[in-house]
Amino acid sequence: MTAIFELLFKYRPLLYERGTIAFDPYWPPYVTWILLAGALAGAWFIYRASAAALPWSWRYGLSSLRAAAFLVIILILLQPVLRIHSVLPQESFVAVAYDASKSMEIRDGPEGQSRLDVERHLLRSADNPWLDELGKKFKLRFFRFSHSAERVQAFEDTARHGQVTDLERTLDQISGELANVPAAGIVLITDGADNRSSDLDRTASRLRARNTPIYTVGIGSTSFLHDTEITGVTTARKVLRDTVMEAEVSVRSNGYAGRRARLLVLDRNRLLQNQEITLGSDGEVKVYRTHFSSQTGGPREFKFRVDPFQDEIIKENNDRTVLVEVDDAHPEILYVEGEPRWEYAFLRRAAVQDRNVRLVTLLRQADGKFLRQGIESPATLEKGFPTDRAELFKYKAILLGSVEASFFTFDQLRIISDFVSRRGGGFLMIGGRNSFGQGGYVNTPIQDMLPVNLGAGARDTQGFEDTEFKVRLTDYGYQHPITRISLAKDQNRKRWTDAPALVGFNRVAGPKPGATVLAMADSRAAGGADPVLLAFQRFGRGKSVAFTTASSWRWKMGNVHSDNFQELFWKQMLRWLVSDVPDPVGTGTEESYYAPDETAVIRAEVNDESFLPLNNAQVTAQVKSPSGRSTPLHFSWDVEKDGSYVAAFKPEEEGIYEITSEAFQGSRSLGRAKSNFLVAGSTKEFHNASMNSALLKRLASESGGRYYTPDNAGTIAEDISYIDKGSSSHLEEKELWDMPFLFLLLVGLISAEWILRKRRGLA
Amino acid sequence: MRMVYTGLGPSGYYKAWYTDWPKSDRQFILGVRRLTNIRVASEPRTIAPTDPEMFDYPFIYSVECGHWNLTEQEVTALREYLNRGGFLFCDDFWGSWEWTNFERQISRILPGSKIVELPMSHPIFHSYYNINRIVQIPNVGNAMYSDQTHEQDGFHPHCRGIFDERGRLIVIINWNTDLGDAWEWADLPGFPARFSTYAYQIGINAIVYAMSH
């Protein structure tokens, strides 16, 4: 299109965009008006003589064609020019920045060339004269960039390529270098695979305001014909040892629609999970759930991999590493049971086998008579269920057995609700004759929290059904960590199918809209629509679970003694309830791993005993490097978020770092927290690595520049020369009278008039 | 739930699974319902170890255990029952001869297990009531008309137990004492209250222990 435009209008579109059209006739303006009037009158009178022979529409049409031809001639005589500012040679500076990040190693160029090869060819003046032409018009400054920009003399080959690409920082740095000189623009040669910038549009707008447009040259393919890529992994960053972990792995593929691949999870080189997946259609990102567990404590690097196909261009993006802290903590759970019953005994037996979770129980044996178990000191729960938040919030989860709402004061019910919504704790209600609607929980804060509807009315709207039933998991129920008895999918399904029947459940009025149902009671045994058996929902910062039966002990008594189904169910349940439950002081990095060139941003969240955020704490940390060296850090308050503090740390070694943060109010310690992060040569550059032409085009247009490919980059020198206006520019006038378009227009008008006259039989 | 078992004597023999049945069980249930908030059926039931329904009742009572003569099926079933999490309450057998037979039978059920004397500090003596000593409860005849409390050469009462590999008590053995008679005859004005009191206390403690450990 540009070539056709240039053919017709003599110059490229950019010159018309940047310039203005003017006229430079040899005579004064009144002569122009006389000529115009004369042309119109002349065209009219030529056909006035033929008025009788022609209908008025023909007369008007032919007159118009003749007038238009006269006007084109007058236009040519008026000496049209294109006035455009162009820079004075060697008065301005142009920055030429080329990408030296790892993604430039990708071999997606013609004949298997790497992007770096294409870049080298572009910047070697022997192969491409545009750089020489640019050098004649401007003073050039060269930069090499990846995570930041570095001034160089010319294109330099280097074996060490950057681990990340930060265009925002690069442009800011270059802009800073050109701040004190007249700058005509920045030539940015890159694949646009930015994985660090947060607000490029603002950078581009700033450069536009300074009359420093960006001319982007996109290197590489915009999509890969054959590639699978793990675009992201979502998993908990902290779990208890030996917990079944769930990860959501997002995979994008091109060229392998419907084909099967293997998704692997590795702990160093130990295979934890190997599952078959079916890839989506080209460009589609599919999310796969996978489960695994680690029995080794401490910070663990879990690698997720999709086995690459032979013909993939990039194999490095088939891996993603996530750092997870496998904790050996001992979170406490408070279980209040309203009556001695088998569910209580068997649940406790399962919990006691878990060396990490500590179950503290308060069992009502008779009116006013309680048995406390799992307590650390005689004073624990001495006065019964806690009445203040500080005491209750020490726990990470609360279980309520068959205990009626009237057992608690309204304040205690409110505190339980705050425990979940504000503190972020886990909550479980277990079925029984004093649970759910039968327990009088309608119109209480607990009702709001539960993932199931209790119906209307103050007491027992739905009833307790004493029938035998089999458990039927929902589709998601087969995948959730609570119900993941076996890591192998088929085996998990079989174990649930073979599990003994249960007896008795609280019938509720269905799940709430935001709740997730994991299991139902088989309706053939229970009658009516499938009753909800196990469901959960997020409530504020925490989570709430409903388990409407109290007969899971039958999974133990009804199975051979070596079968650990019941124990595993409760182990997963309790661990899931305490997972992600925050401590009063928390710390961590924004990313779980960083490349060696990057700065780690460390955050601390500080709350008081009631989990209200504190903004006036003093927060410090020690960061221990892999080699054992400790560096102190001081945090500053993040004004945008209550209770949040931030610090930056520049790592110098690769490996796992440990952060120990502590918050103080005066001399009183509010608590400590530990976290880890990984510094390693990353594969970030190979993820989302297709040439991002959309980003580069936007960057160019926002800054007033243009976007090029290597094929048309030769016009950069000329394009940069023409600017809107500047102190280092002069005004050029380019003649337009000899535009081929005007000649073609004139010939066209005359020919059209001649053809029409012949048709009417005129001479 | 009372356990029905194969005993040493012929049918109708006075020392068998049905000793004190059903009144002692019924009386005991009344006590549990009145003194605790445990939900228990109002009528007692019996069950054989070979009945699969036994696994629906994780607490089982057996009397005259010194006269067990268990079949292989009964032994296998009881072993599986205890390994899965069941609890066995043994009562009312006396003297060294009956102990020897009991010991032989229990070793068939739980080979390699050790029978130990339960210390008074054990949680079963404090799970509901605080019990500070073991009481020898005589049969109803001796209780009402004699000062003798023992039978045969069972002069001293013992409360012994067997633990699983995780330290949970799974069998309680009340030897040289007759708790069943104390429940059965608790309603008699002449039956000494101290015997009934102890019997209800240890019985309720055992159930609460089993339901909380």
CATH number at residue B87: 3.40.50.12140
Shortest Cα–Cα distance, A405 to chain B (Å)? 17
Amino acid found at A371: L
| pLDDT band per the 50, 70, 90 thresholds, residue A726 | low
Instruction: Please check whether residues A215 and A71 belong to one and the same domain.
Output: no
Chain B residues closer than 8 Å to A346 by CB: 85
Beta strands in A482-594 (DSSP E): 502-506, 516-521, 532-539, 542-547, 585-589, 593-594
CATH of the domain at A667: 2.60.40.1930
Nearest CB partner across the interface for A371, out of B80, B85, B212:
B212
For A656, half-sphere exposure in the C-beta direction (CA atoms, 13 angstrom radius) is 14
CA–CA separation, B164 and B166 (whole Å): 5
Contact criterion met (CB < 8 Å) for B85 and A340: no
pLDDT score recorded for residue A458: 46
Q: Is B86 on the interface with A (CB under 8 A)?
A: yes
ipTM for the predicted complex: 0.95
CATH of the domain at A262: 2.60.40.10
Contacts of A94 (CB under 8 A, 6+ apart): A134, A138, A139, A140, A141, A183, A184, A185, A186, A187, A720
pLDDT tens digit string along B185-201? Answer: 999 988 999 999 999 99
Identify the DSSP state of A225. Answer: S
Nearest CB partner across the interface for B208, out of A340, A349, A559:
A340
CA–CA separation, B188 and B170 (whole Å): 33
Contact criterion met (CB < 8 Å) for B39 and A559: no
CA A467-A470-A476 angle, 5° bins: 130
Residue of A nearest to B38 (CA): A340
Amino acid found at A253: S
Nearest CB partner across the interface for A340, out of B38, B84, B166:
B38
Chain A residues closer than 8 Å to B208 by CB: 340, 365, 371
Beta strands in A625-713 (DSSP E): 630-634, 636-637, 644-649, 655-665, 668-679, 707-708
Q: Which residue in A723, A708, A699, A727 sits closest to A174, CA to CA?
A: A699
Instruction: Please check whether residues A460 and A570 belong to one and the same domain.
Output: yes
Q: Is B164 on the interface with A (CB under 8 A)?
A: no
Shortest Cα–Cα distance, A525 to chain B (Å)? 18
Instruction: Please check whether residues A352 and A474 belong to one and the same domain.
Output: yes
Averaged pLDDT, A444-471: 81
Shortest Cα–Cα distance, A337 to chain B (Å)? 10
Identify the DSSP state of A549. Answer: B
pLDDT score recorded for residue A104: 87
Q: Is B80 on the interface with A (CB under 8 A)?
A: yes
User: Residue B22: is the preceding peptide bond cis (ω within 30°)?
Assistant: yes
Instruction: Please check whether residues A338 and A324 belong to one and the same domain.
Output: no
Nearest CB partner across the interface for B58, out of A373, A557, A559:
A557
pLDDT score recorded for residue A283: 86
CA–CA separation, A692 and A569 (whole Å): 47
Amino acid found at A175: S
* Parent domain of B62: 2-210
Contact criterion met (CB < 8 Å) for B212 and A558: no
CA–CA separation, B19 and A742 (whole Å): 124
Contact criterion met (CB < 8 Å) for A346 and B85: yes
* Burial of residue A56, with CB atoms counted within 10 A of its CB: 0-12 exposed, 13-18 middle, 19 or more buried: exposed
Contact criterion met (CB < 8 Å) for B84 and A433: no
Chain A residues closer than 8 Å to B80 by CB: 560-561
Contact criterion met (CB < 8 Å) for A344 and B212: yes
CA–CA separation, A703 and A683 (whole Å): 30
Instruction: Please check whether residues A438 and A345 belong to one and the same domain.
Output: yes
Chosen from A354, A503, A557 to mutate, greatest number of chain B CBs within 10 A: A557
Residue of A nearest to B208 (CA): A340
pLDDT tens digit string along A585-608? Answer: 999 998 777 877 788 999 999 999
Q: Is B45 on the interface with A (CB under 8 A)?
A: no
Report how far Cα A146 is from the mean position of its chain's Cα atoms. 21
pLDDT tens digit string along A562-571? Answer: 999 999 999 9
Shortest Cα–Cα distance, B213 to chain A (Å)? 5
Residue of B nearest to A432 (CA): B39
Instruction: Please check whether residues A199 and A336 belong to one and the same domain.
Output: no
Q: Which residues of B19-41 are buried (b: 16+ CB within 10 A; e: fewer)?
A: bbbeebbebbbbbbeebbbbeee
pLDDT over 90 percentage in chain A: 50
Contacts of A266 (CB under 8 A, 6+ apart): A272, A302, A303, A305
Instruction: Please check whether residues A514 and A385 belong to one and the same domain.
Output: yes
| pLDDT band per the 50, 70, 90 thresholds, residue A461 | low
Q: Domains in chain B: how many in total?
A: 1
CATH of the domain at A350: 3.40.50.880
Q: Domains in chain A: how many in total?
A: 5
pLDDT score recorded for residue A682: 67
CA–CA separation, A453 and A450 (whole Å): 7
Instruction: Please check whether residues A149 and A194 belong to one and the same domain.
Output: yes
pLDDT tens digit string along A197-251? Answer: 778 888 888 888 888 899 999 998 888 888 999 988 988 888 888 888 889 999 9
Query: Which of A75-89, A236-250, A427-441 is the most confident on average?
Result: A427-441
Averaged pLDDT, A170-182: 88
Q: Which residue in A413, A329, A389, A397 sits closest to A608, CA to CA?
A: A389
Averaged pLDDT, A606-630: 93
Instruction: Please check whether residues A481 and A522 belong to one and the same domain.
Output: yes
Structure tokens at A476: 């998601």
- Predicted confidence (pLDDT) at residue B166 exceeds the cutoff of 80: yes
Nearest CB partner across the interface for A366, out of B35, B85, B210:
B35
Residue of A nearest to B54 (CA): A557
pLDDT tens digit string along A294-324? Answer: 888 889 999 999 999 988 888 888 998 889 9
The pTM (predicted TM-score) of the whole model is 0.76
Instruction: Please check whether residues A68 and A134 belong to one and the same domain.
Output: no
| pLDDT band per the 50, 70, 90 thresholds, residue A744 | very high
- Predicted confidence (pLDDT) at residue A759 exceeds the cutoff of 60: yes
Q: Which residue in A280, A307, A303, A279 sits closest to A292, CA to CA?
A: A303
SS3 for A41?
helix
Shortest Cα–Cα distance, B84 to chain A (Å)? 4
pLDDT score recorded for residue A525: 52
Instruction: Please check whether residues A440 and A545 belong to one and the same domain.
Output: yes
* Parent domain of A424: 332-578
Instruction: Please check whether residues A98 and A56 belong to one and the same domain.
Output: no
- Predicted confidence (pLDDT) at residue A457 exceeds the cutoff of 50: no
Final residue of a domain: which of A548, A578, A608?
A: A578
Query: Which of A106-110, A135-139, A313-317, A491-495 is the most confident on average?
Result: A491-495
Chosen from B36, B212, B213 to mutate, greatest number of chain A CBs within 10 A: B212
| pLDDT band per the 50, 70, 90 thresholds, residue A52 | low
pLDDT score recorded for residue A224: 81
pLDDT tens digit string along A668-719? Answer: 999 999 999 989 876 677 777 888 888 899 999 888 889 999 888 888 888 8
pLDDT tens digit string along B66-106? Answer: 999 999 999 999 999 999 999 999 999 999 999 999 999 99
- Residues A147/A135, Cβ–Cβ less than 8 Å: no
Chosen from A355, A360, A370, A371 to mutate, greatest number of chain B CBs within 10 A: A371
